[in-house]
Amino acid sequence: VRKSDVFLLAVSTCVLLLGVCVLHAARARAASSMALKEMTAMVRSLELTDLCLFTEARYTRHLSQADLNTPFQDYPMSLEHYPSGSLVMPPETIRRIGAHLD
Amino acid sequence: VRTSIERQRYLIDFTLSSLLRRKTKNGGLLVIYTLIVFVLASVMFFTDAIKREASIVLAEAPEIVVQRMVAGRHDLFPQRDISKISDIRGVSQAGGRLWGYYFDPAVRANYTVMVPDEAVVAPGTATIGAGVSRARLVSVGDTVSFRSRDGSALHLTIGEILSSESELVSSDLILVSEPDFRSLFGLPTDYVTDVTVRVANPAELVTIATKITQILPDSRPILRDEILRTYDSVFSWRGGMMVVILSAAVLAFVIFAWDKASGLSAEERREIGILKAVGWETSDVILMKFWEGAVVSVSAFQVGVILAYLHVFFGSSAVFEPALKGWSSLYPDFKLVPLIDPGQLSTLFFLTVVPYTVSTIVPSWRAATIDPDAAMRQS
C-alpha cells in the first residue's frame, strides 16, 4: 500500500467524521427544540432574567441584575475573587475610566 | 490530468517518507498543533452554543426590570410605586417580583428563592430545581428545612422537581408561596424585590425607561437588550477569560510557526541540496514542502476539530469545567445543543492551516534557490 493512499484515506475518514458531526449537530438541534421551548416558557412565566451558570456569588448568578459596582469592589480593573467573575469584562465606559489605574 | 495527479501522489509519498524519517520531532509537532486547534475549536464551539441558547431563551425575559437603588445598592421596591410605572403610557403590565438568595450552610450552596407569578405553589410546599434536588439529596414528598430570618425553622415539603432539561435556567431555583417567602426572609408585605415591566411596542422601550427614571429617580431600569448583551459579552471572543485562553494558544502557535519559518535544519538543507543535485526543480522542492506543511496542518486541524466537538458536546467541556464551576457547590448539569458555524470554522482553518503551510514553504524556497553544491557544503 502506498503511503499517499493511507494519508488520503485518513483525510477522507476525517472529512467523513466532520460531516457526521455536522449532521449530528443538525439532528440534535431539531431534537432539542422541545427543551428550548420548555426553558423559554419557564423564563416567560417565572420572569427569569439570567442563565444559571455560576452560583458561586450573587453577582455571578444574576449577571444582568448585579449592582454595577458589586463585581469590581476595589477598583474597576481589579482582579476578581471568584473565577467566573473574571469571565465578565466591565463595560467599555468603566474600563476607560479605570484604565489609568492599571 | 492523470499525470499531474500521479506526480502529486509521488510527491506525497516522498513527503510522508521524509516526515517519517524524523518521527519523534514531527510526531511531537503534530500533537502540539492538534492540541492548539483543539483548544481554539473547543472555545469556539462552547461559546457559540451557549450564546445561541442564551439568545433564544432570554428573548422571553421581561422587557424592563426596575430596581430601586439606595446608596448605590439594590434595595427593596415599595409596592405603592408600582402604579406609577403601570400608569406610564405604553406600559401594558407592571408587576412586582419576589426573589432572593438563600445560602445553605449544609451543602455550602447558594439557592435562588422565588415566588412564581402564574404557577401556584401551595404554602408549606416548594418546587425545586434539579440542581437543588441533587445537592440536598431530596425528592418529591421529602421535607426540607430552611432557617428563617428570626432563626426559626421553615419546613417545606417538595411538591415538584423542575425538569432536568431546563437546568440551564432552573437548576438552583426554589419556588415557594408568597407567605413562606416573606416569613423566610422577613420581608414586609408592602415591598417587593423589583418590578418587571411589559411593553407592547418595543420601539418605546428606551422612552419608557427614561420616563421611569424621571418619575422614580432612585430607580435603575434594566432593558432586555442589556440582558442579552451581557451574555453576548460574557462569552465573547474578545472578552474576559476567553482572551487569556485564546492569547495563550495563539502565542504558542506563533512561536511554533516562527520556529518553522525562521530556518531549516542542517539536515533539511542538505536534503534540498541533494534533491537539486539529482535533478529536482526549485518548483518540485517547493511543492514537496507545501505537501509537508499541508499534511501536518490539515491532519492537526481535522483531528483537533473532531476532538473539540466530542469534548464540548459529549464530554461536558471537561477542560473548562474548573474555571466554570469556580467556587460553586451547585452546578447545573446541562447539555449544550451542538452548533457548528461554517464561518467560524473557516476562520479557524485560515488562521491555523494557511500560516503554517506558508511558513513551511518560505525557508525552503530560500534554500531551494541557492546552488545545490553550496546548500550541501553549508550543512
Residue B109 has pLDDT above 90, yes or no: no
φ, ψ dihedrals at B318, nearest 5°: -55, -35
As a whole number of angstroms, the distance between CA B242 and CA B176 comes to 37
pLDDT at position B209: 93
A29 touches chain B (CB under 8 A): yes
CB of B55 closer than 8 Å to CB of A43: no
As a whole number of angstroms, the distance between CA B129 and CA B170 comes to 5
pLDDT at position A13: 95
As a whole number of angstroms, the distance between CA A68 and CA A91 comes to 9
As a whole number of angstroms, the distance between CA B115 and CA B243 comes to 38
Task: List, in order, residues 6 or more apart from A4 with CB less than 8 Å away.
Answer: B9, B10, B12, B13, B16
What cell numbers appear for B135 in the block? 445537592
As a whole number of angstroms, the distance between CA A18 and CA B235 comes to 24
As a whole number of angstroms, the distance between CA A51 and CA A71 comes to 17
- Burial tier of B3 (Cβ tally within 10 Å: 0-12, 13-18, 19+): exposed
pLDDT at position B128: 94
Residue A97 has pLDDT above 80, yes or no: no
A9 touches chain B (CB under 8 A): no
- Percent of chain B exceeding pLDDT 70 equals 95
Note the pTM of the prediction, 2 decimals.
0.83
Alpha helix positions (H), B87-195: 130-136, 167-170, 178-185
pLDDT at position B7: 87
What cell numbers appear for B357 in the block? 503551510
For all residues of chain A together, what is the average pLDDT? 78
pLDDT at position B140: 93
| B163: closest CA of chain A, how far (Å) | 9
What's the rounded mean pLDDT across residues B91-112?
91
- Burial tier of A55 (Cβ tally within 10 Å: 0-12, 13-18, 19+): buried
For all residues of chain B together, what is the average pLDDT? 86
Q: Do A64 and B222 touch (CB under 8 A)?
A: yes
As a whole number of angstroms, the distance between CA B114 and CA A12 comes to 53
Residue A82 has pLDDT above 90, yes or no: no
Comparing alpha-carbon positions, the chain B residue that sits nearest to A63 is: B230
On chain B, the residues whose CB falls within 8 A of the CB of A48 are 61, 169-170
pLDDT at position A27: 92
> Which residue in this structure is represented by grid cell 432593558?
B223
| A9: closest CA of chain B, how far (Å) | 12
pLDDT by residue (tens digit) across B263-275?
677 777 888 888 8
Q: Identify which of B92, B24, B21 has the alpha carbon closest to the alpha carbon of residue B63.
A: B92
pLDDT at position A98: 58
Q: Which of residues 31-60 of A touch B (CB under 8 A)?
A: 32, 34-36, 38-58, 60
On chain A, the residues whose CB falls within 8 A of the CB of B119 are 45-46
pLDDT by residue (tens digit) across B359-373?
888 777 777 777 777
pLDDT at position A85: 61
pLDDT by residue (tens digit) across B290-329?
888 889 899 999 999 999 999 999 988 888 777 777 777 7
As a whole number of angstroms, the distance between CA A26 and CA A60 comes to 32
pLDDT at position A18: 93
| A92: closest CA of chain B, how far (Å) | 11
As a whole number of angstroms, the distance between CA B242 and CA B245 comes to 5
| Least confident range of A18-27, A62-71, B125-134, B293-302 | A62-71
pLDDT at position A53: 84
pLDDT at position A86: 60
Q: Do A40 and B56 touch (CB under 8 A)?
A: yes
Residue B158 has pLDDT above 80, yes or no: yes
What cell numbers appear for A31 in the block? 431534537
pLDDT at position B282: 85
pLDDT at position B334: 81
Total residues found in chain A within this entry: 102
As a whole number of angstroms, the distance between CA B122 and CA B18 comes to 75
What's the rounded mean pLDDT across residues B133-140?
92
Residue A32 has pLDDT above 70, yes or no: yes
As a whole number of angstroms, the distance between CA A46 and CA A42 comes to 6
Helix (H, G, I), strand (E, B) or coil at B221: strand
Higher pLDDT, B335 or B175: B175
Higher pLDDT, A95 or B196: B196
pLDDT at position B258: 74
Q: Give the N- to C-terminal CA distance of chain B in Å, as an integer.
A: 38
pLDDT by residue (tens digit) across B10-69?
989 998 998 888 888 888 888 988 998 898 888 888 888 888 889 999 999 999 999 998
What's the rounded mean pLDDT across residues A15-40?
91
- The sheet that has B125-128: what strands, in order across it? B99-104, B109-114, B173-176, B125-128, B153-161, B143-147
Q: Identify which of A13, A52, A93 has the alpha carbon closest to the alpha carbon of residue B132.
A: A52
What's the rounded mean pLDDT across residues A27-40?
89
Helix (H, G, I), strand (E, B) or coil at B225: helix
CB of B81 closer than 8 Å to CB of B192: no
ipTM of this complex prediction, to 2 decimal places? 0.80
Residue B238 has pLDDT above 60, yes or no: no
